[in-house]
Structure 1
Amino acid sequence: MDVEALNALMRSEFSQVANDFIVQSVAPMEAVVRMPVAEEHLRPGGTISGPTMFALADVSMYLVVLAMIGPVTLAVTTNCSIDFMRKPTAGVDLIASARIHKLGRSLAVGDVLIHSEGMDAPVARASLTYAIPPRST
């Protein structure tokens, strides 16, 4: 699936959050997803909340998996570990770079680096595994 198809899938299948995630690029086994940061993503202390960054990591991996296997919307997260490494800049979009390291018939394993736009060092890193449902024959 390409950028247009993934963004269209988000609008049709996940309309409640589609505006929170914008696929910017897709390459073999990689995707870049932007999250426009809004007031609801902030927590006390003037930073972006951990659940917001977790959601971006999870959705980014989901989208790169679908980019490679097609619109198999029942693919699900089976594992996620996230490290919050530094304070993201409040009010600045988050950019997630998702990469699949192994894509099998039933599992996809990869990681996501999250940056505050304009910041060189990542603010978070996540390692994720997705289960891919059996394909119909």
Structure 2
Amino acid sequence: MALKMSSEELMEFIGAEFPQVKEDFIIEGLADKRITVRMPVAERHLRPGGTVSGPSMFALADVSVYLVILAMIGPKALAVTTNCSLDFMRKPAAGVDLIAECRLLKLGRALAVGDVLIFSEGMDQPVARSTMTYSIPA
């Protein structure tokens, strides 16, 4: 299946539709049903103890699945998360970016399912794993 949006088009779309988070994510790789997204970790992403907060990791996983779906189907702003499972497996390294490696497991007419592994930059083992289901508008 051919990509319908490039990395640049996806970031322009995010900037137009979700300007409040545009600076939080950088697309580092995009291929058929796969995307790699970096979240430059800032003070606002941290929780007490100096580790990245769960909501920040959720946002990275959610945006990664959303972006790879849009890359495959085109700009449909109303695609929405309908289910999420998120496992926190290790404490993220302090002061480094998070990197999400996402792949679509299913891309249907009405639903898409994506799997995301989140890594702290420089760590070999994932710090979190997520599976997300999205509803795709008609």
TM-score range, shorter chain: over 0.9
- Distance in 1 separating the partners of 2:85 and 2:105: 15
2:31 equivalent in structure 1: 27
Aligned residues: 134
- Tell me which amino acid in the other structure corresponds to 1:43: R
- Tell me which amino acid in the other structure corresponds to 1:92: V
2:5 counterpart of 1:4 = no
Structure 1 counterpart SS, 2:112:
strand
2:53 counterpart of 1:49 = yes
Cα deviations by residue, 1:41-97 (Å, 9 ceiling, x for unpaired): 111112110010001000110000001000011100000000000000121000001
- Distance in 2 separating the partners of 1:24 and 1:89: 20
1:59 aligned to which of 63, 87, 90: 63
Q: TM-score, normalised by structure 2?
A: 0.95
2:112 counterpart of 1:96 = no
Cα deviations by residue, 1:76-135 (Å, 9 ceiling, x for unpaired): 00000000000001210000011101100000011110000111000000000000000x
Deviation at 1:22, TM superposition (A): 1.0
Report the aligned-residue RMSD: 0.6
What fraction of aligned residue pairs are identical, expressed as a percent? 69
Which sections of structure 1, spanning at least 5 residues, go unmatched? none
2:73 counterpart of 1:69 = yes
Q: TM-score, normalised by structure 1?
A: 0.96
1:120 equivalent in structure 2: 124
- Distance in 1 separating the partners of 2:126 and 2:13: 28
**Segments of 4+ moved more than 6 angstroms:** none
2:22 aligned to which of 11, 18, 25: 18
- Tell me which amino acid in the other structure corresponds to 1:124: A
